[in-house]
Amino acid sequence: MTLEELTSFLTDLGLPPFRARQVWQWLQQKGVITFDAMTNLSKDLRDKLADACCIAGCEIEKRSASSLDPTVKFLFRLHDGELIESVLMKYKYGYSLCVSTQVGCRMNCAFCATGQGGLIRSLSAGEILGQIHAAQRSENIRVSHVVLMGMGEPFDNYDNVLRFLKLVNEEDGLHIGMRNISLSTCGVVPGIERLEQENLQLTLSVSLHAPNDQIRSTLMPINRRYPIAELMRACRHYADATSRRISYEYAMFSGVNDSDECASELAALLKGTLSHINLIPANDVTESGLKSSSPERIKAFAELLQREGRNVTVRRSLGGDIDASCGQLRSKHIR
Ligand code: SAH
């Protein structure tokens, strides 16, 4: 709830507005998951709240820490027993948490472990926030950056994601700046158009993964609904309107989208638009049969893009030993 919503909810329970601010800070700033933890409220008041409502936080079902780097992967259990994943990564600039926006996903990308089980349900804004609080509690750290790149398609849960973005940004809450937030989409064009209107300073990432419709449609069914020309029209418009550089994710699959021709096509596609290309060594998802390109191929692909004048980086892989990639841990746990 926003502070206004909580104020009206607690007013209905007969409580004065200053109580709403206290409770709101416990929930949003400290991220407590029981009323008993709200120590500046009387026992009577805490009992009254516990009778009237519940706090749907994230409980840790499984925590795995990488032995290769400081990455920690969480499998969280929600109030209804559903499981979601988050990944905590440590960078020079602080801790970044990759959060889920849905349980499962309906987009069914060929290479993605999350999509294989379909969509179960969307997360509430509180459940998206709860992942940050739970990670902070577990590791005793502050998260400074958030990426919406976990399970799910953020634009398939637009309203809750927007509500989350506003709450996470609140000064009295976690107060994470929009410039420290990235949102990744598989290319849901109406979502990009709507987000443009919100005029937020966050970074939009677009999972492109192919330079033409022929390849992209075999990897990502969403491309049949919103083909590349339409997607790029929306992206160019977004970049012009917001003056924010879009980050294009490009996972490299051996023999599928990693040829020199693909690199030239990609360079041409993004010519003259505010863009950054992030090449991602693909994580093997056994069922798909897709394999990552070799480090040498990725390097050559990056160099070709650079020669054409594009901004490009190769993503460093973290947590390779803990199934840290999208949906991998949950699938294994359920099996
Ligand atoms: N639905 C959103 C955000 C979640 S997926 C989106 O599609 O962008 C987060 C990122 O992980 C996307 O770029 C997605 O394409 C990528 N991804 C999923 N499975 C992968 C795999 N096996 N290897 C590499 N990247 C993968």
- Phi and psi at 147, nearest 5°, equal -120, 130
149 C-beta closer than 6 A to ligand 1 = yes
Strands 72-77 and 59-65: antiparallel
Distances (CA, A) of 41 to 10, 14, 78, 190: 13, 15, 26, 45
Taking 3-state DSSP, the helix, strand and coil percentages for the chain, each rounded to the nearest 5, stand at 45, 20, 35
Encoded tokens for 10: 């607690």
Question: What does the pLDDT look like over 281-315, one tens digit per residue?
Answer: 998 876 788 999 999 999 999 999 999 999 999 98
Strands 83-91 and 94-98, sheet pairing = antiparallel
Q: Which tens digits make up the pLDDT trace of 111-165? A: 999 998 899 999 999 999 999 999 999 999 999 999 999 999 999 999 999 999 9
Asked if 93 contacts 46 with a C-beta cutoff of 8 angstroms, the reply is: no
Is the beta carbon of 242 within 6 A of some atom in ligand 1? Answer: no
Q: Tell which CATH classification among 3.30.390.10, 1.10.10.10, 3.20.20.70, 3.40.50.1370 matches the domain 59-334.
A: 3.20.20.70
Q: Which token pair is 191?
A: 């979502």
CA distances from 149 to 120, 127, 152, 223 (A): 17, 15, 8, 19
| Contact (CB, 8 A) for 83 and 62 | no
Active site residue 109: no
Atom of ligand 1 nearest to the CA of 205: 8
Residue 136 identity (one-letter amino acid) = Q
Mean pLDDT of 196-205: 96
In CATH, 3-52 is 3.40.190.80: no
Compute the distance between CA of residue 287 and CA of residue 49 in angstroms, rounded to an integer: 47
Between CA 118 and CA 280 the distance in angstroms is 24
Look up the pTM and report it.
0.95
CB atoms within 10 A of CB 148: 24
Domain boundaries, the chain: 3-52, 59-334
Q: Tell me the CA–centroid distance for residue 8 and ligand 1, in Å.
A: 39
Q: Hey, is 22 helix, strand or coil?
A: helix
**Does residue 112 have its Cβ closer than 6 Å to ligand 1?**
yes
Please confirm, yes or no, whether 54 is among the known catalytic residues.
Answer: no
User: According to the model, what pLDDT value does residue 325 have?
Assistant: 65
Q: Is 14 helix (H, G, I), strand (E, B) or coil?
A: coil
Q: How far apart are the first and last CA of the chain?
A: 35
Is residue 280 within 8 A of residue 315, CB to CB? The reply is: yes
Say how many Å lie between the CA of residue 149 and the centre of ligand 1.
Answer: 7
Query: How far apart are alpha carbons 228 and 189 in whole angstroms?
Result: 10
* The two three-digit tokens of residue 195, written as one number: 């987000």
Is the separation of the CB atoms in 181 and 147 below 8 Å?
yes
Nearest protein Cα to ligand 1, atom 20: 112
Mutate to test the pocket of ligand 1, among 114, 146, 149, 203 (most ligand atoms within 8 A of CB): 149
Q: Which of 84, 85, 107, 112 to mutate to test the pocket of ligand 1 (most atoms within 8 A of CB)?
A: 112
Q: Which of 85, 127, 196, 249 is catalytic?
A: 85
List pLDDT tens digits, range 211-229: 999 999 999 999 999 999 9
Atom of ligand 1 nearest to the CA of 285: 22
111 CB near ligand 1 (under 6 Å): yes
